[in-house]
Structure 1
Amino acid sequence: MSTALAVGLLVVVLVVAVTRPRGLPEAAAAVPAAAVVLAVGLLTPAAAWDEVRELGPTVGFLAAILVLAHLADAEGVFRWAGGVLARRSHGRPQRLFALVVVAAAVTTAVLSLDATVVLLTPVVLDTVRRLGARPAPPAFACAHLANSGSLLLPVANLTNLLAFGATGLDFLGFAALMLLPQLAVLAVEYVGLRLTFRLELAEPAGPDEEGVGAPLPRFAVGVLAATLAGFAVASPLGVEPMWVAVAGAAVLAVRALAARETRVRELVAAASPGFCVFVLGLGVVVAAVTERGLGDVVASLLPAGTSFPALLGLAAVAALLANLVNNLPATLVLLAALGPTPATGAVLAMLIGVNVGPNLTPVGSLATLLWRRVLSVRSVPAPLGTFTLAGLATVPACLVAGTAALALVV
């Protein structure tokens, strides 16, 4: 009964987060569910506090990077990027598509997948409108690269941050091992999506009729570059990425506040405190589910060793679990199932699964759900059939290519 209750609570939390009935925030179910977990004894208060304390730096980083991305957008970074995309595409849909793949991969790596979904995707859609091109290829490129383009750096995805400590690597060590898998996945994504949308990409577009785009916001770009360098420098010193992100956000925030271009209330809203609370509540519920048996079930499914077949099997299980329960809880469950001292290769293979796998179904990651809302607001269709076809054309091959590349370097 306790196991069924824990699983039921997790299902309710995920359903509310996915559907958001009546516009309810994600935390509307996660917080009460966490309270029930404690009230009925599915998890002790001490264990719940340990989970919250462990997730604290990760959630703090999430809030800081969201503020940093918001301020970068306010400084014109994404408007400038849209102008570059329009000019460099020369009215050719295939070239625009390739440029969007690169832009989405860079944005995801530096500012996390949320920035790609919330900030880059609208700019890309506006650029498509200016050129008169079909929106589906670049729009789906943003969705796919928000997930599968988040392998390279620990700061690119919340799943990476949750697992970063378990890898035993520093920032640059993580990037070095994930560089080849990331390149392999990007190559497969590009080819797979090009084939999926070959008809749309064959239709002609036009030149940028609105002329020169926004100028390069040098100060904001410099702060972003310094923040990225700070991640690399701070990691060997044992400094949490959260503090580097806070420093970068603080520099842009002080400038914006001094110029009266923003207000403290807007910065707090940009940090998405409701979503941060959701992540903490979700962590408590997932800890209860793991404690009540799911962790043992998942552990029994994971292959042992770090050979290519073992790593591929682990990535496949991770991808399947991400599509069943969403990639955030999947990551928490898998980390518990891997044990206290997992092999570095096993953790990285798991990340390939939970980051690439969500491109198969719209419910695999919260970023994908948010992407669908962005498209809906702009009346751009994202049919389930098209999403599934694009996923089938890329996800299996990405898992194999990324894991094979990982097996070469671990």
Structure 2
Amino acid sequence: MSVTAWLAVAVFAAVYVLIATERVHRVAAALGGAVAMLLIGATGPEQAFFSESAGIDWNVVFLLLGMMLIVSVLRRTGLFEFVAIWAARRSRGRPYRLMVLLILSTACLSAWLDNVTTVLLIAPVTISVCTRLGLPVVPYLIAEVMACNIGGAATLIGDPPNIMIGSRAGLSFNDFLLHMAPIAAVLVVVLAVLSRWLFRGAFSYDPERAAQVMALRARDAITDVRLLVVSGVVVVLVMAGFVLHTTLHLEPSVVAISGGLVLLALSRLDARRVAADVEWETLAFFAGLFVMVGAMVQTGILTDLGRAAAGALDGSLFGASMALLFGSVVPSAVIDNIPFVASTSPVVSEIVAASGGTGEAQVLWWSFALGADLAGNATVIASSANVVTVGIADRAGHHISFWQFSRYGLVVTAVTTVLAGVYVWLRYFVLA
């Protein structure tokens, strides 16, 4: 590797250590790392700001911004309090029952929305219901964002990496539903069972608080019926736009930002107050992270690693499948799985072509998707949904540290990835 490439690796490693140890705020660390990459020449302004493969993914940034605007308006209708009271009453105030309800609801929602949109909608509800029941917020947020990452793996539109993989491989919505949904459903149930042990300290039942919540009427939480109706119409149109974006030839980011701005205009709210609710720190963190990972792509480091791995597979379809599944876990856990998939999918395409291109070789794409999606649970920065959830928690006064998340995430990632490996082996090599 060149001197610049080695310097890029050093900068990335230093920033990762700063984020992991929390010696420097993650936003400052990411933006500082991005500046360092520019200064050492690992990337340039043209690549950092305008390159689709090695720069800031503006589609992700504006998708987040649009959905944050929508959530900011929705918050003013009382909808989140309504859902929080409904969930608390449905679970009868029982903490573990509530967590299972949130896990299942989040996973189902994430399969039909992208996982970032899902956590933007569900995290405020979780904070509200946990506050009402006197429960610790952090375990519930971590459990549901993990359910979000697993549930999102089920469909083409559920997780941004799936959209990129489907586009490059020519895989349809039904293809993902047929091959990914079965194992995703199993893993959601596994997560619900595993959570009983992982978060066992978060299930303290308070009969008095539970009784108070059971006495509430969810309908009373709605404060602005007109705004709720308008928001509902816009949200339905945005969701339809997400599902039909390939037919409409519109990027999901365009759909989201259009919906956010239209809703803001129709809401008659003070735009400054709505904008104040946007997670600007999260957006800045993503920008810095994209520039750093883009620099790693620009210097050829990730591509070289991928090709070296491809050369070591020696034509074995089963070996290639397992290598893609388990080999995607570590890099997807270290960097956000969106830029990882963007930079690695061309290498996977070469491996698939060398293995026959279609038919049996398609298992390589499913292995790659499972590895990248499930690794999103490993660390705070492994998935966009994780970063957004941590930002929401911080603004609500509930800090989630890197190691606090990873303590649970690494266990869940290990268990679900092994089960996914068994699924791939049984379905495509034993029972095929």
| TM-score normalised by length of structure 1 | 0.79
Question: C-alpha separation between the residues in 2 aligned to 1:271 and 1:365?
Answer: 16
Which residue does 2:333 correspond to in 1?
Answer: 323
Which residue does 1:314 correspond to in 2?
Answer: 324
Deviation at 1:100, TM superposition (A): 0.9
Which residue does 1:397 correspond to in 2?
Answer: 415
Question: C-alpha separation between the residues in 2 aligned to 1:204 and 1:296?
Answer: 55
Report if aligned partners of 2:71, 2:120 keep a CA contact under 8 Å in 1.
no
Q: Of the candidates 212, 219, 234, which is equivalent to residue 217 of structure 2? A: 212
Which residue does 2:291 correspond to in 1?
Answer: 281
Identity of aligned residues (%): 20
Structure 1 residues 41 and 224: CA distance shift in structure 2, 3 A: closer
Question: C-alpha separation between the residues in 2 aligned to 1:181 and 1:79?
Answer: 33
Report if aligned partners of 2:325, 2:368 keep a CA contact under 8 Å in 1.
yes
Task: Give the AA of the match of 1:294.
Answer: L
SS in 2 for 1:91: coil
Structure 1 residues 23 and 238: CA distance shift in structure 2, 3 A: closer
Deviations 1:181-226 (A, max 9, x none): 3212212211111232346447465231661233484443343333
Once the two structures are overlaid, the 10-residue window that deviates more, 357-366 or 120-129, is 357-366
SS in 1 for 2:367: helix
Once the two structures are overlaid, the 10-residue window that deviates more, 350-359 or 24-33, is 24-33
| TM-score normalised by length of structure 2 | 0.75
Q: Of the candidates 296, 306, 312, which is equivalent to residue 298 of structure 1? A: 306
Structure 1 residues 74 and 20: CA distance shift in structure 2, 3 A: farther
Report if aligned partners of 2:95, 2:204 keep a CA contact under 8 Å in 1.
yes
Which residue does 2:347 correspond to in 1?
Answer: 337
Superposition pairs of residues 8-407 of structure 1, within 5 angstroms: 8-14=10-16, 19=22, 21=24, 24-25=27-28, 28-36=31-39, 40=41, 49=51, 51=53, 55-109=57-111, 112-117=114-119, 120-133=122-135, 135=137, 137-171=139-173, 173-198=175-200, 200-201=202-203, 203=205, 205=207, 206-207=210-211, 208=213, 211-213=216-218, 214-215=221-222, 217-256=228-267, 259=268, 261-263=269-271, 266-267=274-275, 270=278, 272=280, 274-275=284-285, 277-278=287-288, 280-289=290-299, 291=300, 293-301=301-309, 303=313, 310-339=320-349, 342=352, 345-365=363-383, 367-368=385-386, 371-372=389-390, 374-375=392-393, 387=405, 390-391=408-409, 393-405=411-423
Deviation at 1:352, TM superposition (A): 2.2
Deviation at 1:281, TM superposition (A): 1.9
Task: Give the AA of the match of 1:401.
Answer: L
Report if aligned partners of 1:69, 1:111 keep a CA contact under 8 Å in 2.
no
Task: Give the AA of the match of 1:211.
Answer: L
Question: C-alpha separation between the residues in 2 aligned to 1:99 and 1:54?
Answer: 36
Report if aligned partners of 2:8, 2:37 keep a CA contact under 8 Å in 1.
no
Question: C-alpha separation between the residues in 1 aligned to 2:250 and 2:121?
Answer: 28
Question: C-alpha separation between the residues in 1 aligned to 2:66 and 2:362?
Answer: 27
Report if aligned partners of 1:356, 1:398 keep a CA contact under 8 Å in 2.
yes
SS in 2 for 1:149: helix
Report if aligned partners of 1:327, 1:365 keep a CA contact under 8 Å in 2.
yes
Report if aligned partners of 1:325, 1:364 keep a CA contact under 8 Å in 2.
yes
Question: C-alpha separation between the residues in 1 aligned to 2:309 and 2:248?
Answer: 36
Once the two structures are overlaid, the 10-residue window that deviates more, 75-84 or 201-210, is 201-210
Structure 1 residues 104 and 340: CA distance shift in structure 2, 3 A: same
Structure 1 residues 371 and 226: CA distance shift in structure 2, 3 A: closer
Once the two structures are overlaid, the 10-residue window that deviates more, 276-285 or 3-12, is 276-285
Q: Which runs of no fewer than 5 residues in structure 1 stay unpaired?
A: none
Q: Which runs of no fewer than 5 residues in structure 2 stay unpaired?
A: 353-360
CA RMSD in angstroms, aligned pairs only: 4.0
Task: Give the AA of the match of 1:10.
Answer: F
Structure 1 residues 154 and 198: CA distance shift in structure 2, 3 A: same
Size of the alignment, in residue pairs? 403
SS in 1 for 2:145: helix
Task: Give the AA of the match of 1:194.
Answer: R
